[in-house]
Amino acid sequence: MADLKVSLAGVEFNNPIIPASGTYGYGREYECLYPLSRLGGISVKGTTLHERAGNIPPRIAETPMGMLNSVGLQNGGSDKFISYELPNLATKGTRIIANIAGSTVEECAELAAKLNGTAVDMIELNISCPNVKQGGAAFGTDCNVAGAVTKAVRDASDKPLMVKLSPNVTSIVDIAKSVEANGADAVSLINTLLGMRIDIKTRRPVLHNNVGGLSGPAVFPVAVRMVWQVAGAIKIPVCGMGGVSTAEDAIEIMMAGASAVQVGAAIFRDPYAPVKIIDGMNEWLDKNGIKSVTEIIGAVKPY
């Protein structure tokens, strides 16, 4: 069998497949299906400093080849994560990525500091959240603001830092360069694309929040394009995500330049999706005589 081990921001993973934040909770619901040790790692439910109730329903809607969500980072807060979820996860034999979010730069830094000295292997900073001090614009839509929040989190924590980038920008390459310059050890992309659906009977948006994040197979070509652009422009590693549903998808996005792959919406359709992708990648690598999955990272040959 091929060697599936990969390295991301100095952290070694047994394989490159990681359930994406917000799609896998803390793994508890999946333990009865397969050992969590089969996964490369888990990016846990987005954690905020304090408990959040999330947005008012309806906050999930199906779309052709995807889904819209506006859950609003519902979670129990950092104290509950550290005291209740993390001790359980630490016994499962997989890498733990703490996805964090905040409404201010200071909040993000405080949360990162709280995770120092814990069993977390890596911090994934979500910069798609609205920055209340900047009029509600997302941290990740402005190079200077993205750089500032990255630097604050970097200064507050010794944990390897991965920054999750928003695709809802003019140039994702410029944002990636800014977070790299300010201390990010890796970047993950793409987060969801902003979308909207309208119920033509009621003439109201399908989601109570009016708009939401689009994920699923429909966004995969956008993800591949952005991963390829970013991987060619920065020196730190890229974790690719966005519509990855099959082993072939995972291989494709790694060929675009991703060192690891997060799987999200596919899990809602099939909870076994991550392990099926791992097995499928192994089969493909063996069939093609490839000894290590690292050989396909950035292997695309543009015209």
Instruction: List 3's β-bridge partners, or say none.
Output: 292
In angstroms, the CA 291 to CA 235 distance is: 24
Per DSSP, helices labelled H in 129-191 are 143-156, 172-181
Catalytic residues: 129
* Amino acid (1-letter code) at residue 152: A
Instruction: List 239's β-bridge partners, or say none.
Output: 188, 260
Largest CA-CA distance found in the chain, in angstroms, rounded? 56
DSSP structure class, residue 198: E
With contact defined as beta carbons under 8 Å apart, do 6 and 259 qualify?
yes
The SS3 assignment for 12 reads strand
Give the relative orientation of helices 143-156 and 172-181 as an angle to the nearest 10 degrees: 30
Among candidates 161, 68, 172, which has minimal Cα distance to 109? 161
Direct distance between the N- and C-terminal alpha carbons of the chain, in angstroms, rounded to an integer: 32
Residues 6+ apart with CB under 8 A from 103: 129, 130, 131, 132
For 238-241, which contacts have Cβ atoms below 8 Å and span 24 or more sequence positions? 238/186, 238/187, 238/188, 238/189, 239/8, 239/18, 239/162, 239/186, 239/187, 239/188, 239/189, 240/188, 240/189, 241/20, 241/188, 241/189, 241/190
